[in-house]
Structure 1
Amino acid sequence: MTHTPPHLDDRIEPITIRTGFLWIPGEQIPTPHGTLPRGPLYVEWLAPAEVTRPHPLVLVHGGGGQGTDWLGTPDGRQGWAYDLVRAGYAVYVVDRPGHGRSPHHPEGLGPTAPPLPLEFASFLFAPPESADAHTQWPWERGFDGPEFQQLTSAMGFFLADFAEGQRLDGERLAALLDRIGPAVLVTHSAGSPGGWLAANRRPDLVKAIVAVEPMGPPYADFPGLGEITYGLTYAELTTEPPIDAPEQLKADPAAHRVPGLSGTPIAVVTGSASGSAAQSPPLVDFLNTVGADAELLPLEDSGIVGNGHGLILEANSAETVKPVIAWLDALEESR
């Protein structure tokens, strides 16, 4: 008699995949202990036996998370990465510098901000006051629920220098694109600035962007961080024509184009029960003002309701990915 470990889900559809990993090294820096690579990027890749899609996907996790956010869900199912592989894509899952398997040391990356507490995770992913509408987080709401513990065990911290953290994200993602070629970026939450910056640095290598519940709205003022300096990012964006100070972009965004975003197809995905969804319409407007071809992709327009900010992790994650795959399919058909 065979035995299935309790954490394995018999409902998972078998799939033959190829896997591996690589590193995008950081620049070498001197320290009192010798030379260190600064902020290397860990990249795990997955691909079907036969890749049928023309461009790979680069999955960029949010906030204090890590690449495992794309690989599995708090209740033990396979995550979006596997759904996208089943759809024929080669997928690259990154751990942003200083997160997950991308090591952090203060002599390389500087000090960290305070750790993200469980209260913040509850507020962001499973707010009790939204329980009636937030029906796709069906697990216990509270610190003791096993799914909540699975989610929060993966959470880390930001760099104290938030702008520098975003700059590093953009630079390392750009270097990954140099290695793998043209790709589509798929970002979640506070991972979105790294996507905007990577496109800004490598405009010819980003074919499209899917921003899931992205950070915003433009120029939001976050406690302890201040206003989003460049509207989309705290780290510097380059524009055409160039600006001498970020205030110029804020004063007249229509007078500027952002290389890498100008003309780029962008889908901004929102959940119907997410407290963050309201920030996305003004973000889409701003993206289009600076030249992007951006559109809002609310899940409810596809008949998918009850999702919150963590829609890539929730009980119907295999459904929430389908409108994204359909959007990518339509994009390829239009080319």
Structure 2
Amino acid sequence: MKRSRRGNFWVTGARVTHNGKSYQKGPMYVAWESPEHITQPYPVVLVHGGTLQGTEWLDTPDGRPGWAQRFVEAGFVVFRVDRPGHGRSPYHPDIMGPVGPAFSYERAREVYFPEGGGETQWPFEPDDEAAFDAFIAAYGPMPADLAASQTLDADRLAELLDRIGKAIIVTHSASGPSGWLVADRRPDLVAGIVAVEPMGPVFGHTPGIGSLDWGLTAAPLTFDPPRKTPEQVRTAEPSTLKIPGLQGVPVALLTGETSAFASYASSIVPFLRNAGANIQHLDLPALGIHGNGHGLIYERNSDSAFKVVAQWLEKSLSMPDPA
């Protein structure tokens, strides 16, 4: 690894009043790292999944470098956020609203290596309890109101782009909607979106988290012609659901072989195509990469999955070869 520089800052939240005193609502922690020689024209913003924090992009559970380092090695400036109410981004229910349920060991097993799911790339043995303890330690609750949480995500990410300029947004799992929403807010500042195993399906419901009432999101999206309610979106002819903020935006939808989230691509891809995005489904088994589940960004072959993304960025955004 060549030398790099790193630091951190917060994207601040709004001042709100509670019981006659002022508080800050929903700041967003941002860690950044820059290679000694920046070779890529756009920075990368890594947005973690639900109930997790930005650490999921760092080392893998078996001790290898994660995608954050791989992007830096490829010449990108990397910004790694803790979504509002997660990780280092402070949360108090009096200010942010009710907290959602805790993340259980049982739910983790359902998501990452379900029984009979065919997962072969998980980075530690499923019966390794100490490794499982270390993995679960990063998880916390998230805001109970999914639409409000996504709105905060998108607002803070938009403010981050105002500060750093045009960037590539990389999401995972429950942060997938945040990518669509920040493009809705700052279409000129989103160079492309890589959605890794995004939350779905279209209009789907995730137990303990919430529903995507606006199709791809729980928070409102801007359609043309306008749709004022989720019901208007749900009942519209799909081909009419254009999203101006996604028009022509290069989008990669990355899915593994064994994850239930991979099945959501069958509804997400046509929705994005109708919306106007330049969407490509990067289906790992179709590319000869097998055995991956929902945690493919830190599974045993995470570097192979990263290479697929790097090649897509090179081709779709006309970027220098990161190799």
TM-score by shorter chain over 0.5: yes
CA distance 1:191–1:160, shift in 2 (3 Å): same
One-letter amino acid of the structure 2 residue matched with residue 84 of structure 1 = F
Deviations 1:145-188 (A, max 9, x none): 23322221001112111110111111111110111010010000
Query: Partner amino acid for 1:50?
Result: H
Q: Give distance in 1, aligned partners of 2:319 and 2:65.
A: 30
SS in 2 for 1:234: coil
Alignment of 1:1-335 (within 5 A): 14-32=1-19, 34-130=21-117, 133-142=118-127, 144-223=128-207, 227-250=211-234, 251-333=236-318
Contact 1:268 1:297 in 2 (8 A): yes
Q: Using the alignment, how far apart are the partners of 1:225 and 1:134 within structure 2?
A: 24
Output the CA distance in 2 between the equivalents of 1:242 and 1:128: 43
TM-score, normalised relative to structure 1: 0.91
The separation in 1 between residues aligned to 2:177 and 2:170, in whole angstroms, is 11
Deviation at 1:208, TM superposition (A): 0.6
Work out whether residues 185 and 208 of structure 1, in 8 Å CA contact, stay in contact via their aligned partners in 2. yes
**Aligned partners of 1:122, 1:262: CA distance in 2, in Å?**
37
In the TM superposition, what is the alpha-carbon distance from 1:301 to its structure 2 partner? 3.1
* CA shift for structure 1 position 334: 8.3
Contact 1:240–1:256 (CA under 8 A) maintained in structure 2: yes
In the TM superposition, residue 303 of structure 1 has moved relative to its aligned partner by 2.0
Q: Percent identity?
A: 48
Which digits, 9 at most, give the CA deviation of each residue in 1:13-61, with x for residues without a partner?
x331110111100001112373111000000001110110010110000
Shift of 1:311: 0.3
Paired AA for residue 232 in structure 1: L
Residue pair 1:189, 1:213 contacting (<8 A) in 2 also: yes
What secondary structure, in the 3-state scheme, does the structure 2 residue paired with 1:170 have?
Answer: helix
Stretch moving more, 167-176 or 121-130: 121-130
- Give yes or no for contact 2:146–2:209 (8 Å, CA) kept in 1: yes
Q: Which amino acid in structure 1 is aligned with residue 288 of structure 2?
A: G
| SS state at 1:328 partner | helix
Question: Residues 271 and 234 from structure 1, CA distance in 2 versus in 1: closer, same or farther, beyond 3 angstroms?
Answer: same
Structure 1: 5+ residue runs without aligned partners?
A: 1-13
The letter for the 2-side match of 1:258 is I
Runs of at least 5 residues in structure 2 that lack an aligned partner in the other structure: none
Q: Is the 8 A contact 1:125 1:310 kept in 2?
A: yes
Letter in 1 for 2:81: V
One-letter amino acid of the structure 2 residue matched with residue 125 of structure 1: Y
SS at match of 1:260: helix
Q: Are the structure 2 counterparts of residues 84 and 107 from structure 1 closer, same or farther at C-alpha, using a change threshold of 3 Å?
A: same
Structure-2-length-normalised TM-score: 0.94
Alpha-carbon spacing, 1:226–1:175, altered in 2? closer, same or farther (3 Å): closer
Counterpart code for 1:57: V
